[in-house]
Structure 1
Amino acid sequence: MNTTIVATDGLTKVYGQRRAVDAVSMTVRAGEVYGFLGPNGAGKTTTMRMLLGQVRPTAGTATVLGAPPGTPAALARVGALVEGPGFYPYLSGRENLRVLAAYQGLDARTADAALARVDLAGRGRDRFRTYSLGMKQRLGVAAALLGEPDLIVLDEPTNGLDPAGMAEMRDLLVDIAAGGQTVLLSSHLLAEVQQICDRVGVVAHGRLLAESTVADLRGGASLRLRAFPLEAAAAVAARVLGPDAVELVDGDRGDRTLRLTAGAEAVPDLTRALVAAGLDIHEISPVERSLEEVFLEMTASAAPALEVSR
């Protein structure tokens, strides 16, 4: 049975007449990478700040590791990187981490362990101001890892990184979760989220539109069939898979194909039936909606949150 690490119920934050977070109810489970997915300004950072006790909610409730956000019981087991790392530029990476470790009552050796965890041990003596953007982000994650917290909260950890830096960060986050820690990260980079997250919460205009595994959110598998004559192929596919599993699709270039609601396991029987009917098969391929397609479809119909009346 999965342990709940973060739970919110109707969590809301209002600034003046703007509803930044609107009745968000989400659940993060132990050992998973949970992606809080949404465009800039969707309310992701505000939600995270409420979970860290940095912002007081207007309404609703939240628990973090079974305790109210911001309490010593919760903060002792949480590491966070929100809105970019903030370090002393004239200190080295190791010295910055040792300052943070001392503030938390941790041994200085925890700083060295965190540096090694993010592959910065070889640059630990270099001043922070000489670090590349990717190194600065990794040092920020190292700060969040001090003391081996149960929950790591990361706000846009790949923001501004080049492809190589993104790949390094992705591998690091997967490694953290594999070690048993829970990662809650926000992002607007859908391809990154699709690769590393176990579950996602899709947010737009401050509202949580969906919460699910990436696979479930993308929907069931389907097949694309191009064969000639197409009408005869549709009849064969309907006989093998059922009439409700066959859909005629018009392509961008004026071509027409069949979309079949079926997985790869149906391909052998379908192929044999098409060949037996004497049809020419040009393509049978799996089709999966990307997380980006699902996200754009969901957010396109999401209206902005209502203004708060005075």
Structure 2
Amino acid sequence: MNETIVTTENLTKRYGEHTAVDEVSLTVRRGEVYGFLGPNGAGKTTTLRMLLGLIRPTSGTATILRHTPGEPAAKRRAGALIEDPGFFPYLSGRDNLRVMTRYLALSDSAADAALDRVDLTGRGGDPFRTYSLGMKQRLGVAAALLGNPDLLVLDEPTNGLDPAGMADMRELLVELAGHGQTVLLSSHLLGEVQDICDRVGVISDGRLITESTVAEIRGMSSLYIRAEPVDVALAVAMRIAGDDAVHLLDGDALRLDVGAGATPGITRALVDAGADVHEVRTSERSLEEVFFEITATGDAANSTASTARSHER
């Protein structure tokens, strides 16, 4: 079993009457890219800040690299980019990183290596104040990479990047995980998360709704069929896939909740039954579709629970 790098148990943060994070329990394992997803204001950044020891939880516990968040041993082995990266505006990108390398007791060459990894070498001598949003974000990730940390905690790492920059960042994060480092990132770009993350946790209204692999959370693919006569196609589909897995859509289309591997057998059966097959295609739900579905369900459930509590009072 993979080593656990981050774990939380009922982690909670309240600000007065407002509960920003509500009993979140999650697990991040070594060598994976873990996507932490949720609508704006769901509690993602607050959770990440607690994991890094930047704020204290109201209740619950967290462990990062087998240490309590904020302990020196945890800080040495974790790199982070949370919200807007803060640097000295009058120093160059390279000199900003060199300030950090000296604090971390690293050589200046570590700053140059970090700039190279985020494709900022050519602009490393320019003052930070002249950087675009995307360049500032790259420098923030470069700072997080200093010292080759075991864990990277990144809050919206592709914010402000152009499409090519996003692709480069995705490639870098996958490369890091491939070398045994662990990446915990929050992102609102669900297509990006779907492409690079091994597992995801979805938070809504402060509560963790689900935690699973990307494949599991997207569920089984569906098979769409257009064939005539429709009653013949329907009978064949129900015989092979089962009544509950077959759905008659508008017009002459059927949707079968089966895997793509069932396509050849069902197609042959339709032809053998004398049906004219016009279209057969597989379709998988995107992470974005599932995200909107489960956060809407979660919000509804939380609203119902809140109403019930108010009636109890």
Give the alignment's TM-score, normalised by structure 2: 0.93
- Write the mapping of 1:30-109 to structure 2, written as runs, cut at 5 A: 30-109=30-109
Cα deviation, residue 130, structure 1: 2.3
SS at match of 1:227: strand
- Counterpart in 2 of 1:203? 203
SS at match of 1:281: strand
Cα deviation, residue 283, structure 1: 1.1
Structure 1 contact 19–306 (Cα < 8 Å) conserved: no
Unaligned runs of 5+ in 2: none
- Counterpart in 2 of 1:277? 273
1:23 equivalenced with 2:19 (yes/no): no
Structure 1 contact 35–184 (Cα < 8 Å) conserved: yes
1:267 equivalenced with 2:267 (yes/no): no
Give me the identity figure in percent. Answer: 68
Cα deviation, residue 41, structure 1: 0.6
SS at match of 1:161: coil
**Relative contact order, higher structure (CA 8 A, sep 6+):** 1
Tell me the amino acid that sits aligned with residue 94 of structure 1.
R
SS at match of 1:7: strand
CA distance in 1, matches of 2:294, 2:205: 12
Cα deviation, residue 162, structure 1: 3.1
CA distance in 1, matches of 2:181, 2:172: 12
CA distance in 1, matches of 2:252, 2:88: 60
SS at match of 1:83: coil
CA distance in 2, matches of 1:142, 1:256: 54
Q: Which digits, 9 at most, give the CA deviation of each residue in 1:30-88, with x for residues without a partner?
A: 00000000111110000000000010000000000000000011111000000021111
Q: Which digits, 9 at most, give the CA deviation of each residue in 1:138-192, with x for residues without a partner?
A: 1110000000000000011122333333222222222221222100001122111
Over the aligned positions, Cα root-mean-square deviation in angstroms equals: 1.8
SS at match of 1:238: helix
Cα deviation, residue 256, structure 1: 4.0
Structure 2 contact 134–159 (Cα < 8 Å) conserved: no
Query: Which moves more between the two structures, 215-224 or 128-137?
Result: 128-137
- Counterpart in 2 of 1:159? 159
Q: Which digits, 9 at most, give the CA deviation of each residue in 1:195-247, with x for residues without a partner?
A: 11110000011100000011100111221111111111011122233333322
What is the count of residue pairs matched by the alignment?
305
- Counterpart in 2 of 1:171? 171
- Counterpart in 2 of 1:298? 294
Tell me the amino acid that sits aligned with residue 15 of structure 1.
Y
- Counterpart in 2 of 1:226? 226
SS at match of 2:215: helix
Cα deviation, residue 249, structure 1: 2.3
Structure 2 contact 228–252 (Cα < 8 Å) conserved: no
Give the alignment's TM-score, normalised by structure 1: 0.94
Tell me the amino acid that sits aligned with residue 283 of structure 2.
V
Tell me the amino acid that sits aligned with residue 228 of structure 2.
F
SS at match of 2:125: coil
CA distance in 2, matches of 1:30, 1:269: 40
CA distance in 1, matches of 2:252, 2:83: 47
1:146 equivalenced with 2:146 (yes/no): yes
Query: Which moves more between the two structures, 64-73 or 185-194?
Result: 185-194
More helix by share: 2
CA distance in 2, matches of 1:83, 1:25: 22
